[in-house]
Each structure stands twice: as C-alpha cells, then as structure tokens.
Structure 1
Amino acid sequence: MKALTWHGKGDIRCEMVDDPVIEQDDDVIIKVCACAICGSDLHLMDGYMPTMQSGDVLGHESMGEVVEVGKGHSKFKVGDRVVVPFNLACGQCYFCQRQLYSLCDRSNRNAEVAIKAMGHSPSGLLGYSHMLGGYAGGQAEYLRVPYASVGPIAVPDYLTDEQALFLSDIFPTGFMAAENANIESGDTVAIWGCGPVGQFAIQSAWMLGAGRVIAIDGVPERLEMARSHGRAEILDFGEVDIYEALMEMTDGRGPDSCIDCVGTEAASGASVDSALDKVKAALFMGTDRPHVLRQAIMCCRKGGTISVPGVYVGLLDHVPFGAAMNKGLTFRMGQTHTHRYLEPLMRRVVEGEIDPTFVITHRADLEQGPELYKKFRDKQDGCVKVVMKPW
C-alpha cells in the first residue's frame, strides 16, 4: 500500500509499504477514506520526538471503512464507516475505568521505554514513535486499529468523511483544552496558537461559556480564521507586546484562563528567549522551546488556570515556576482522553452546532503529502489544515 513514512529529520516520503494485518483478536483493518496532517506530526518531521525509526508510517488522524475484523471482534462489521481516536485504550485498566484513556496502562507495548523517560507510561499512540508503542499510523491506504471495540465509533451516513475526521484528534483536543481551562460563564480566555487545535479551542471556549476569547498568533491567515470563524479578538505577537496588550484589554487583571496550543516549537522569531531556545535545541543543550508557556504564566491572572494541550517532549528551561506558585495558578494538561469526547462531540456535529470542516484549507492525495508537510510547517500558501484522500 501507499503510505507517508519518516526517514529522518525533514525527510517525509510517500512510498510503498506492507499492508497491515490482523495481529490481535480485537483488531480491525480500515480502508482509510480521509486522513490529516496534525501540528504534532511536525514535531516528528523536525526531529523532536525520540525513538522514531526510518520507514515508520505516520499519521494519527484517520477515518475510513472497515474491511477486515479480528475473530474476537463484534462491534463493527465489514463495510462500516468509523472514525479512529489517535490514542489507544484497553477500556479495562485502572485509568480507562476512570475515563483517563490517554493514560491507559496496557496499550503501549513499549511501556518500559516511556517509563525510563517519564517515570510512567502513557497510552500507545498511532503513528507516534516507538516510545509510544511503535504502531503504524494512518496516513496510508489502510490502517490496523488495535483495541477496536473500545476506541472507534461509527459515522452516521448523513455525515461526510471530512465532518467526522477531526473527531480523531483536534476537535476533542481543543475541547478538552477548553474544559481543562476551568472556564466559568463570562470568563476571558486567551489562547496562544491559532493552528487547528487552537481553532477548535476557540470554538470550544465559546461552547463552555466564555464571555471573551482572545487569540494570539503571528500568521495572518490563522488570525483571520480565528477572527472570522472563531469570533475571537486577535493579537499578532509580531506587532504588539502580548503581556502589555493583555493587561490593557483586561484592566490589568489578566485573562482568567490561558491555553497553550503551541507546545514545544514556539516560533523562534517571537522573542529573544524563544530564539535562544532554538539555539539550545540545535546544540543539544535543550529540547523544547517553552516561550508560550513562560508568557502564559506571566499573563494569567492571579488564581487563574493554564491549560496545555500543546505537545512537549522533554525538558523546559527557564520556566518562571516561582511566578506560577506565587500567583496561585492551576495547571491542567495532557494528551487528550479522546474516547471520552467522541460521542458528545459527534452529537454537536450532527445537531449542526459546529461544522468542523471550516478549518480545512488544503485537500490532497498521499503523493502530495511530503510537499504539504513542508507547506504546513513553513506556514506557506495559507496552509492551516491538510486533509488527504488516499483513494
């Protein structure tokens, strides 16, 4: 089959690889109808995620049609259309029973590698390194879905592939980010990063009762999407001092909640500290570039909440933890417990509360994938979200 594969930093290829096969009784194989490039895929492309191996199949946002089921599987049948959550969960362990699905104790088959790096292992992830299970991803013609009785949900006939696709990751991730922000009715919420997750965090903040949403980025088309589709006030970090602007907009108090939708690769041109972070990473003196997290800590009002859906992969330098402690900030973060949100967010789509396809700017086939990875990373051609149709 055709698939997008990783061959080193900056080297993404479309090539032929072996078709997936049923490995466990509860597996299903899907023919991928639609898949997408996620912002966190760029961390793989840019070499920030350890334990990648040449030839790994990428992608964790996929939906498609079931073409084969394991002998112990009874939830789906051949021909069903399903959307697949990016993380894998057994449904039975201590964490799954508490709906903390991204912390599943059983789905990371390389848990010992993650334990050495993090103290404990999170769940396995599709297409996201051998530290997190070494599972092939879904930027491909076919995808093996482990734990298929627990994760995927059926897509109603009256929803398009694209309307269902983003339930795999970015819509639940944006919603959980807003939920983690402890938004109360009328609150002011500042959101750093207007990429796909940021766009859904904006939408979700309104759903949860925000009175005001302020979106921060440096890319004009992303800011315009946040303004027009998200109804957010916008700040361009290249034009204003973000701390000063937020203080002025909130009468000196600061936003009630701050959401970091950027993560490890904050733009190096944003400030002196982020430029230094990039130099340290290049010299192997550091890993992540936490400029946004530093800024959110300084900007958030006393007693406020910082939510972090943006992916971090290693060690953070010069984070003002003293400020966070003395301001009494609450931090909530983590990989998304996607399974928890699939049904309720599907209902919001079905009922017409949101059409997730607003975020799509580019549609392509797999052969165009490597070029679009670069366009997405370099923010060229107005690229906010890429959807690929393998067939």
Structure 2
Amino acid sequence: MKAMVYQAPYRVDVQEKDIPRIEHPNDAIVRVTRAAICGSDLHLFHGMMPDTRVGTTFGHEFIGIVEQIGSSVQNLQVGDRVMVPFNIACGSCWFCARGLPSNCHNVNPNATAVGGIYGYSHTCGGYDGGQAEYVRVPFADVGPSVIPDWLDEEDALMLTDALPTGYFGAQLGDITEGDTVVVFGAGPIGLFAAKSAWLMGAGRVIVVDRVEERLAKAREFAHAETMNFGHHRDVVVALKKATDHLGADVAIDAVGAEADGNRLQHFTATKLKVQGGSPIALNWAIDSVRKGGTIGVVGAYGPMFSLVKFGDAMNKGLTLRMNQCPVKRQWPRLLEHIRAGHIVPRDVITHRFALDDIAEGYHVFSDKLDGCIKPVIVPSGI
C-alpha cells in the first residue's frame, strides 16, 4: 500500500509499505477513504514530540471501510463504513470504565499519562496512523462506529478528532449562560470550540489569533468577535479592556505546543526543546481570564517541563481543566447537533490533497499558505 512516512523534521514522503495484518482477534483492517492533517500532526512534523521514529505513518483523523475483521470482533462487519476516534482504548481498564478512554492503561507501554493515539509517535504507543491506504484498528469493538447513512463522510471525518476536541474544550470551560468566552487559536479546534461555546449558552465569544484568514473564518463560521494579537502591544491588556477590565469568564487554549508570541519561550520550546511546548497561549489564558474563572486546555503539549504561570493561576483562584478528548463520548450529542443543522463540520475544510501529494499538503498547512485551515487527504483511487 501507499503510506505517508516520516523521514526527519520537516520531511515526509509517500512510500510503499506492507498492508497491515490482523495481529489480535479483536483487530480490524480499515481501507481509508478520507484522512486529515491535524494541527497536532505539525508538532510531529516539526520535531516537537519525543520518540517520533523514522518510518512512522502519521494520521489520527480518518474514516474508511472495514476490509477484514479478527475472529472475536462482534460489532463490525466487512463492508461497514466506519469513523474511528483518535483514542485507542481497551474499553475495560479502570480509566475506560470511568469514561476516560484517552487515558486507557492497556494500550500504551508509556502510559504514565496519555493512552494510545494513532500515528502519534512511540510516546503514544507507536501505532501507525491513517494517512495511508489501509490502517490496523485495534480493539475494533471499542473504538470505531458505523457512520450513519445520513451523515456526510467529511462531517464524519471531522468527528474523529477536531469537532469533539473543540466541543470538549468548551465543556472543560464549564460555561454557564451569558459567560464571556475567549478562545486562543483559530485553527479547526479553536473554531469548533468557539462554535460549541454558543451551544452551551455563552453570551459572548472572542477568538484570538494572528492569521487574518483564520480570524475571518472565526467570524463567518463561529460568529465570534476576533482579535489579532499581532495588532496589539499586549493582547492581555486588550482583552481586559474588552471585558470591562475584569477578564473573560472562560478561556480555552486550542493552540498548544507551538504557540507563538514570546520569542524567548518559543525558542526554548521549538528550537532548544527544553520545554514540552511554548506555553504562551496558556499563560495568556491565565492572565486574561477573570479571578475565579475557568480555563480549558485542549491544545497538545509534549511530556516535558513547561514554564506555566502556575502561581498566578493559584492566586487568582482559577480552575484549570484539561485532557486529551474522549472522542466517542461526545458523538451522541454532536450527531444531534449536526442532524439539526446547528453545525456543519465540513465547513472548516479548505484544502484536499491526494495521498501522493501529502508532502505538499504538510508544507501548505505548516506554512499557512493559501488560506489553509483544514486539509483533507484522499487516498489513491477514491
């Protein structure tokens, strides 16, 4: 099969790899019909995640058709169209039993924190991902779900990570009616977080970014106010002025490890790699939210030390909530919203690339060229 293969930071290509095989009775082999490049894939592409090995296939957002199932699989049949959450989870450990599949204890030998994630380095279990023609899906009775007949396939693709993660970010903010919510980052997850904030009763939503095309999308798609931090000497002061000098009730960090803004922190995180990421967006969230406010963090950070302003958070009495999204837990409610027309997830997609052109897709997305917000990968012959 053809598959995207990691070569080195900023270098990926397409190579021939063996089609994956059934390794366990509860495995399924899925022929990929759509995949996506996620903003967190760029952390891998830029060399930000530890133990990203040469030869790895990225891709934790994908849908496809079941080609083969193991002998113990009961919930799927060959030929089913399925969407696959990015979490790999056993469904039965202490954490899975408590609704935390993203923290599954049985799928990652390095599971001191995160569970298993498709195509996201050996730090997250070493599983190959879906930016390929085929992918092995472990615990096939736990993760994948059959795509409803009425659901558009690209809406289903957005349900494998981006939409649930944005929705989860708003959930973590514990939004109450009338709250002012500030979202840091106008990528797909930030856009979905902003849109979800309205569904949870927000009275005002402000999205912060520096890319004008993304801010325009935030106004069009999420009906949010926007703020370009590049136009302000101090974005925290600007946000305080915009919120009666009190601060927002809720802040959502939808940026993570490669936040830009403070050159020193960005350099120590992305160049020297002495931090688990550049915590600029998180520190802005801590500074700009009101005393007693809440911060939801869904931006991805590496498992290393970061210079977070924890003392300020403590003295302001803030509530910080964070995790990798438990994707499948969000699906019932999100499917209701999609069917009712409250949200059209595929509207954030801006580019489509053939699998053979995935290196160009990474280049365009990484450098934010041509207004790229969300790229989708279409395997050969689809």
Q: TM-score, normalised by structure 2?
A: 0.96
Equivalent residues in 2 for 1:252-271, closer than 5 Å: 252-267=245-260, 270=261
Residues 60 and 117 in structure 2, CA contact (< 8 A), matched pair in contact too: yes
The one of 274, 277, 294 equivalent to 1:288 is 277
Which one of the candidate residues 138, 163, 167 is aligned to 2:155? Answer: 163
Asked if 1 retains the 8 angstrom alpha-carbon contact of 2:274 and 2:305, the reply is: no
Partner of 2:118: 126
What's the secondary structure of 1:144's corresponding residue?
A: strand
Q: Which amino acid aligns with 2:295?
A: I
The letter for the 1-side match of 2:87 is N
Amino acid at match of 2:310: F
Q: What's 2:376 paired with?
A: 387
**What is the aligned partner in structure 1 of residue 348 from structure 2?**
359
Kept after mapping to 2: 8 A contact 1:290/1:316: no
CA contact (8 A) 1:280 1:287 kept: no
Q: Distance in 2 between the 1:3 and 1:161 partners?
A: 21
CA RMSD of aligned residues (A): 1.2
One-letter code aligned to 1:298:
D
Within the candidate set 238, 247, 250, 1:245 is matched to 238
In the alignment, structure 1 residue 275 sits paired with structure 2 residue 263: yes
Pair 97,212 (structure 1): closer, same or farther in 2 beyond 3 Å: same
Q: How does 1:66-85 map to 2 (within 5 A)?
A: 66-85=66-85
**CA-to-partner distance for each residue in 1:10-40, whole Å, 9 max, x for gaps?**
1111111110111111111111110000000
Gaps in structure 2 of 5+ consecutive residues: none
Q: Aligned equivalents of 1:86 and 1:314: distance in 2?
A: 18
% identical equivalent positions: 47
Q: Secondary structure at the match of 1:353?
A: coil
- Asked if the contact 1:153–1:342 (Cα under 8 Å) also holds between the matched residues in 2, the reply is no
Counterpart secondary structure, 1:136: coil
Q: Does 1:181 align with 2:173?
A: yes
Separation (CA, whole Å) in 2 of partners of 1:12 and 1:50? 17
1:284, CA displacement in angstroms? 4.3
Q: CA deviation at 1:7?
A: 1.0
Q: Secondary structure at the match of 2:352?
A: strand
Q: Contact 2:48/2:273 (CA < 8 Å) preserved in 1?
A: no
2:34 counterpart residue number: 34
Q: Which deviates the most, 86-95 or 337-346?
A: 337-346
Do residues 228 (structure 1) and 223 (structure 2) align? no
Alignment of 1:54-93 (within 5 A): 54-93=54-93
Task: Determine the structure 2 residue equivalent to 1:117.
Answer: none
Q: Following the alignment from structure 1 to structure 2, what is the Cα–Cα distance between the partners of residues 342 and 21?
A: 28
Aligned residue runs from structure 1 range 274-353, under 5 A: 274-281=262-269, 282-353=271-342
**How far is the alpha carbon of 1:4 from its aligned partner?**
0.9
2:274 and 2:84 map into 1 onto residues whose CA distance is 37
Q: Structure 1 unaligned segments of length 5 or more: list them.
A: 115-119
Which residue identity lines up with residue 315 of structure 1 in the other structure?
Answer: M
Give the Cα separation in 2 of the matches to 1:321 and 1:246. Answer: 20
Distance 2:307 2:275 in 1: 11
Q: TM-score, normalised by structure 1?
A: 0.94
